[in-house]
Structure 1
């Protein structure tokens, strides 16, 4: 491996490692800091938060970015070997990097597919990591001058060379120990957390959340609370992955409060489809979102609204305008969708107009007794915010 190729490979590995560390930092704070807002949340289409809170962002409860960081450290060590190792080892290193990069590129392409076609949301930090993987793949592929079928034989020979070098053995042991420790001790997302359970929060986290709720401006909304002590207004898009995730995560929490204090907490859903057909202020992010909003409203008139919502949230990857209309008939019991479409769409546009007046930029956006929360709060903080508002209303 030429030193120029090794330096370029090392540059890609360092850039990818830096992006991975940033991704781990953002993911960690989204889970454990109730007030954290990611720097790379630009709009509904470009949002690290929506990507990192999706079910695709973790493996066995561990952020994918942690595995990426470990991989880039390994790639960096091999690239350094391409600079300082003995010539026979340096010649083999491009093949090792190419093999690793091939597997990494397959994972990157899968996650890019998920981002583009399922989540329809892009993470700038993830794109940097993807670019670093592609760079390593191209550089190592161009630098490999021997048949890839000889990689296993070369690896066995190079392992014997590594075993004879105290420095190489020390570096290898340190890398393996660091990777194992990271995987063993890095905080994991609790099992079922994404399904709506609300893990306990620390006293410090609770204090921080309560300080936020006490000091945040409260925006008056023209939405009746119908006697509830806590009014939660959610601006929603039925084709938005984060809206689906928050629906599933918050459903058992809302059910818990309803069982404890019937009627004390009211959730009101407001439509804000990211679709220019009914929301000219947005872009065409979700092609079936307007039809979905209409379908839910029509299903509610037949007491099938909740079933319709559930279907939409759980069929987002394959959702089309045609499938929504078919589900409106079979799930929502709607037989006059076409006849009622125009008049119902006008009601959706009324919600959109209110959202625009309130400065809605992305979905979901919540108002908890007038306190604006952009994006999805972790379930434990949503739970605590409701409990705080209930306690506040009781002590007035």
Structure 2
């Protein structure tokens, strides 16, 4: 077969891509050592769940990361199954070197947060990831982000005025700095009560804590 080398090469590339996604989904981007919970929660405003919950999940995430999109429904499932016993805290960690649109996406959620719409915008970005992540022109991309804000009832002009403000940028930088102190180098990075875990371990670990 004349095309056999080409076919084998294509299969090898495909296998490598699949392995990359699976690896990023399965492995945490932090050292596998427990972390002081206070360090994880410092200056972390995006919280869903009761303050006295038995389980606290902290996620450092990148809105343009495919593995983060895949992890999001798992985190939601756990939170919905145990609404009184689990709280979820989201922290930004956009990997701008490989995801050129991630930083602005994070900033967009911070604008939405000022209008009480952080989680709604968070969910919308993951749902529409394939659409906005491929936009290359900045003006077109920001316009797309503004259209998502409008869908959620946020004033478009006001959104556009704020998305690149120094204050909004600083909120994302705070999370990046916090992640850097923890030696995070990949997303998603998950902690359950201070213990770094992979997404595949999440349900089992949460249920173990709740049942003990």
TM-score by length of 1: 0.41
In structure 2, relative to structure 1, the CA distance for the partners of 1:323 and 1:269 (3 Å cut) is farther
**Match in the other structure for 1:348:** 172
Work out which of the residue numbers 337, 348, 352 in structure 1 matches 2:159: 337
| SS of the residue 1:361 aligns to | coil
Work out which of the residue numbers 173, 187, 205 in structure 2 matches 1:385: 205
Q: Which whole-Å deviations, capped at 9, do the CAs of 1:252-310 have from their partners, x for residues lacking one? A: 2221111xxx2x211110011112xxxxxxxx111111100011122233343333223
In structure 2, relative to structure 1, the CA distance for the partners of 1:349 and 1:364 (3 Å cut) is same
| SS of the residue 1:332 aligns to | helix
Work out which of the residue numbers 59, 65, 77 in structure 2 matches 1:240: 65
**Match in the other structure for 1:219:** 36
**Match in the other structure for 1:289:** 102
Please give the residue correspondences for 1:120-269 in structure 2 after superposition, counting only pairs within 5 Å: 217-222=34-39, 223=41, 226-258=51-83, 262=84, 264-269=85-90
Answer whether contact 1:272 1:355 (CA < 8 A) is retained.
yes
Distance in 2 separating the partners of 1:359 and 1:216? 11
**Match in the other structure for 2:112:** 299
- Of Structure 1 and Structure 2, which has the larger fraction of its residues in strand? 2
Q: Which whole-Å deviations, capped at 9, do the CAs of 1:304-325 have from their partners, x for residues lacking one? A: 3333223322333441354552
Distance in 1 separating the partners of 2:104 and 2:89? 19
| SS of the residue 2:67 aligns to | helix
Distance in 2 separating the partners of 1:324 and 1:233? 28
Answer whether contact 2:92 2:175 (CA < 8 A) is retained.
yes
Answer whether contact 1:295 1:328 (CA < 8 A) is retained.
yes
1:367 aligns with 2:191: yes
> Alpha-carbon deviation of 1:386?
0.8
| SS of the residue 2:211 aligns to | helix
Q: Which whole-Å deviations, capped at 9, do the CAs of 1:167-189 have from their partners, x for residues lacking one? A: xxxxxxxxxxxxxxxxxxxxxxx
Answer whether contact 1:302 1:332 (CA < 8 A) is retained.
no
In structure 2, relative to structure 1, the CA distance for the partners of 1:102 and 1:217 (3 Å cut) is closer
Distance in 2 separating the partners of 1:304 and 1:266? 18
In structure 2, relative to structure 1, the CA distance for the partners of 1:102 and 1:248 (3 Å cut) is same
Answer whether contact 2:57 2:191 (CA < 8 A) is retained.
yes
**Could you list the runs of 5+ residues in structure 1 that have no partner in the other structure?**
1-95, 126-193, 195-214, 276-283
**Could you list the runs of 5+ residues in structure 2 that have no partner in the other structure?**
26-31, 43-49
In structure 2, relative to structure 1, the CA distance for the partners of 1:217 and 1:107 (3 Å cut) is closer
> What is the number of residues matched between the two proteins?
185
In structure 2, relative to structure 1, the CA distance for the partners of 1:234 and 1:322 (3 Å cut) is farther
Moved more, 330-339 or 240-249: 330-339
Answer whether contact 2:190 2:199 (CA < 8 A) is retained.
no
Answer whether contact 1:304 1:331 (CA < 8 A) is retained.
no
**Match in the other structure for 1:41:** none
